[in-house]
Chain A
Amino acid sequence: MSATSHDTHHDDHHDHGPPPGITRWLFTTNHKDLGVLYMVFALIMFFVGGAMAMVIRAELFQPGLNLVDPHFFNQMTTMHALVMIFGAVMPAFTGLANWLVPIQIGAPDMALPRVNNWAFWLLPAGFVLLLLTLFLPGGAPAGGWTMYPPLILQLGDAFPFLIFAVHILGISSIMGSINIVATILNLRAPGMTLMKMPLFVWAWLITAFLIVAVMPVLAGAVTMLLTDQYFGTSFFNAAGGGDPVLFQHIFWFFGHPEVYILILPAFGIVSAIIPTFARKPLFGYSSMVYATASIAFLSFIVWGHHMFSVGMPLSGQLFFMYATMLVAVPTGVKIFNWMATMWQGSMTFETPMLFAIAFVILFTIGGLSGVMLALAPVDLQYHDTYFVVAHFHYVLVTGAIFSIMAAVYYWLPKWTGNMYDERLGQWHFWLSTISVNVLFFPQHFLGLAGMPRRIPDYALQFTDFNMISSIGGFVFGLSQLIFVWVIIKCVRGGEKASDQVWEGAKGLEWTLPSPAPYHTFEQPPVVK
């Protein structure tokens, strides 16, 4: 088929391979190159943020102030969150979108290739500014990634760097997302109707809409912080008629869609992997699409559940509580669809499938603790405790990050042309899955018993669970080195992968050779 033919030369592509040398990566407009850049950047940031987590867990291994200065501890919790959210998870998903969306919809590249290059290179720019703050007088941001005033206004020289880093990362995400929306809406191959698109594409279409809608909101919020600090405005200053709580409202109007930005692409990945290894079509495709859209819609009207303890009219608490619990309905639809897909399937358990199944189980644990947190009366007890930490690490680590790992194992043979080392993959999976539960499950108990988050010391009765949690953390951190080794090994060689790679895999990307050629679908395939 025309998909794999490369003899159709035209003006703009006399050569079909990448240019040699470093300029290939600096100047590239190729969606596959940019996908690689995004994912390598995300992997580096995963280890930078992970190192910060190791500092946190080492300090919390025993009660008392043991290793680091409390102020440095606070910098670690804040920077860990910012690095993992904006440096690891979002770029990893954007990288996957870059690599996969064009080859899943039969497009020659992304719709706006130059913007794609710009959106990527803004990421290292933002992180130069953000990580630089660690070396500035007064240290890095230490008031929590949520940047609540007035606390954040006590930050030293790092303050404007933080604000502008957020601006630049915001521009990057918005540009990347505009590109993804334009690609999906405009570059689908003939016959690839919206309701035939793979769910990963659907999930990213909706995610990209969320990003374009809420990243400017974060930009506006931090701009007001900046003017409050340096230009005398009073947005968050009650003496001048403003209100610090206003920041919380604006921040979480961004923040809640943001957490769905971090999980919707994961739903798309899992919806691709489970049918392949269950050897059955996905159960309830259209309900998956509607559920994703419903979750996205609900994300705009639930922000208040992050602020139950700040003081809010009863009617507001009730509204946000019920709206939040509604999110469980479309999410439940997804969980049941994945279970029904596996039901009576002839399943095999290669590494991607293991991560996908672990995702379904462990993400559900995080989802259920989310329903507990949604209850306004009990949230007053849970608020700002380790229960919240346990909750969002279940959805972000065993949710978002497990799905990214599943995706890497699943598509790596398509990217490199080589099969990864299955034995090492299994080791990585089992070590990660056991240790991540040792790491985060005890934090539920710590939170319910009242241990506050973001504190470097704790009361003696919390010692045992903290030690267990830290041991789990160290093992989880070390296990990720296996992941890196698997990737390097697979890139360098290994058993050759077939075009379809997995016998149950369906979709346009599996019609391409492995590795996928530098330019694909220059003439669009026809989808029946």
Chain B
Amino acid sequence: MSDTQQQPYYVPHDSRWPVFGVPGMVLLAGGFSGYLNGTGWGMPVMVIGAIVTLIMTVMWFRDVVHESVAGKYNNQVDLSFRQGMAWFIFSEVMFFGVFFGALFYARVFSIPWLGGDDPATSRFLWDSVVLSWPTAGPGEMYRALEFTPMGAWFLPTLNTLILLTSGVTLTIAHHAIKEGHRPKVIWGLAATVLLGFIFMCVQSYEYVHAYQDLNLRMDTGIYGSVFFMLTGFHGLHVTIGAIALLVILFRVIRGHFTADNHFGFEAAAWYWHFVDVVWILLYVVVYLL
């Protein structure tokens, strides 16, 4: 028969890391809850939980990398990983969809309704308040907020270019890995990680600028809410993606990948492109429109 006969589908004997790491996740979540409730034990428990969870993640990936390098994965396993990653990214798309949906709802429904389009609502809540996007909302406390919305020019546009360029450098690396041209892969990946790092620096600067100069904070009504939620979760994903690419860079240097077998690289690349596409949408609806 085919090569399934020679090399069966790899099913690991046992898996120790989930049982080790899941209590860590309980501590992480429970500690964070305790912290939010204002208890003293919250923060330390959360830190312990985060460390345990991190150890789980690192050790689990280490096992998988060892098995991959040892050649235990046949093409069918590779395909399972591909499908797993693709569906994971789909779930992430749905997660971001919620926050884009909240922005859409606020701009198309709740702000116009509260601003008088729906007299039955606005008359009984905040009569004759005129609202238009961007706004912090009709309540007295929120109306009094003086803030400047984040413009698209100059830093966000620069960041868009940085992120788009990183997509190009990553694609160069991808073509190079298929051609087996390792120095070019290293160069392309390093450039991508560096651009991701610069993006995060600019983004951090923008946040400081928003809090210090624009009086734009998370509690600046609905505008501040969606701005920081969308850019914040995007930034978190850029960070995760950059760490993934950095790991892949070290693996490339160690020679883990071949021209035919480099799913680890591709998974991280898919993730990076996903983050890229989210940013383009975000740039248009949060900054431009």
Contacts and interface: CB of A to CB of B under 8 A. Distances in A.
Interface of A: 8, 10-13, 19, 23, 26-30, 107-109, 111-115, 117-118, 121-122, 124-125, 128-129, 132, 157, 159-161, 164-165, 167-168, 174, 177-179, 181-183, 185-187, 212-217, 219-221, 224, 227, 230-235, 237-243, 246, 249-250, 519, 522-524
Contact of A227 (B64, B91, B218): B218
B270 interface: no
A52 to B, nearest CB: 22
B26 A238 contact: no
B98 A250 contact: yes
Contact of B22 (A115, A125, A161, A522): A125
B19 A185 contact: no
Given A164-B33, A178-B83, A182-B83, 6 more contacts: A186-B83, A217-B98, A234-B222, A240-B225, A242-B102, A242-B222
B82 to A, nearest CB: 9
A216 to B, nearest CB: 4
Contacts of B8: 8, 10, 12, 108, 522-523
Interface of B: 4-5, 7-19, 21-23, 25-26, 29-30, 32-33, 36-37, 60, 64, 72, 76, 79-81, 83-84, 87-88, 90-92, 94-95, 97-99, 101-102, 105-106, 109-111, 113-114, 125-126, 131, 135-142, 217-219, 221-226, 228-229
A221 B25 contact: no
Contacts of B60: 114
A433 B21 CA distance: 43
A450 B102 CA distance: 35
B106 A161 contact: no
B14 A23 contact: yes
A117 B221 CA distance: 42
A523 B106 CA distance: 55
B274 to A, nearest CB: 13
B137 A113 contact: no
A168 B105 CA distance: 27
Contacts of B229: 224, 227, 233, 235
A492 to B, nearest CB: 27
Contacts of A213: 90-91, 94
Contacts of B5: 523
A19 B264 CA distance: 31
Given A111-B84, A125-B23, A241 B36 contact: no
A168 to B, nearest CB: 6
A235 B225 contact: yes
Contact of B79 (A186, A239, A246, A524): A186
A109 B98 contact: no
B9 A187 contact: yes
A262 B12 CA distance: 31
A216 B29 contact: no
What 10 A-B pairs have minimum CB-CB distances, sorted nearest first?
A: A239-B139, A232-B219, A220-B98, A241-B137, A241-B222, A27-B14, A164-B29, A160-B33, A233-B225, A240-B137
B83 A111 contact: yes
A354 B80 CA distance: 38
A121 B137 CA distance: 43
A238 B139 contact: yes
